[in-house]
């Protein structure tokens, strides 16, 4: 099979890269070990380091397991781009959950489709979108709603 797109690569860009066979969350673990005090993200003027994101995602993984989420369970992230998304994303990977990232601007009807289609039983959201999740309680497989506030960071 001819890979025509390779003709458009800049000089020096390899056609193939060997990636390590490690879980995605290991990249965060490695970065936190090598550069614990370096900025990982900035949000409305607040800077969070790799160590902070790693520690918070560890705590989230433990908390989500403590609330009954098991390996393979589908968990929707109904969050804007924020530290909470990053923390929940890596925490869910560590817990072995399957992440279902959803657009927080979806209507309740659109969310219902995705909750049903994916078998999502847990959603992580913020108060701004909480009403949509509550509306779907009892109409979808949803069993848990976990919410956080953007003001936490």
Closest CA to 116 of 104, 100, 95, 97: 100
Q: In this predicted structure, what is the pLDDT of residue 19?
A: 87
Match 């290991």 to its residue by tokens.
26
- Residue 53 has phi, psi (to 5 degrees) of -65, -40
Q: Could you tell me the two tokens for 130? A: 């909480």
Q: Could you tell me the two tokens for 153? A: 């960071």
Beta 144-147 vs 122-125: how paired, if at all? parallel
Q: Where are the domains of the chain?
A: 22-152
pLDDT digits (tens, 9 = 90+) for 53-90: 999 999 999 999 999 999 999 999 999 999 999 999 99
Q: In this predicted structure, what is the pLDDT of residue 44?
A: 94
What span, in angstroms and rounded, lies between the C-alpha atoms of 102 and 137?
17
Which CATH number is correct for 22-152, 3.40.50.980, 3.30.360.10, 3.40.50.300, 1.25.40.80?
3.40.50.980
As to burial, measured by CB atoms within 10 angstroms (0-12 exposed, 13-18 middle, 19+ buried), residue 23 is exposed
Averaged pLDDT, 41-61 = 98
- Three-state secondary structure of 87-139: HHHHHHHHHCCEEEECCCCCCHHHHHHHHHHHCCCEEEECHHHHHHHHHCCCC
Banded pLDDT at 123 (limits 50, 70, 90): very high
């Amino acid at each position: 099979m001819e890979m025509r797109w390779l003709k458009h690569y800049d000089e020096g860009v390899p056609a193939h890269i060997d990636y390590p066979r490690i879980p995605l969350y290991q990249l965060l673990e490695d970065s936190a070990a090598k550069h614990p005090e370096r900025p990982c993200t900035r949000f409305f003027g607040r800077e969070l380091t790799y160590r902070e994101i790693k520690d918070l995602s560890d705590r989230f993984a433990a908390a989500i397991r403590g609330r009954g989420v098991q390996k393979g369970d589908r968990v929707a992230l109904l969050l804007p781009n924020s530290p909470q998304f990053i923390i929940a994303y890596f925490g869910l990977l560590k817990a072995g959950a399957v992440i279902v990232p959803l657009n927080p601007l979806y209507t309740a009807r659109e969310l219902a489709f995705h909750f049903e289609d994916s078998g999502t039983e847990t959603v992580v959201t913020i108060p701004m979108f909480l009403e949509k999740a509550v509306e779907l309680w009892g109409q979808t497989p949803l069993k848990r709603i976990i919410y956080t506030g953007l003001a936490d960071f």
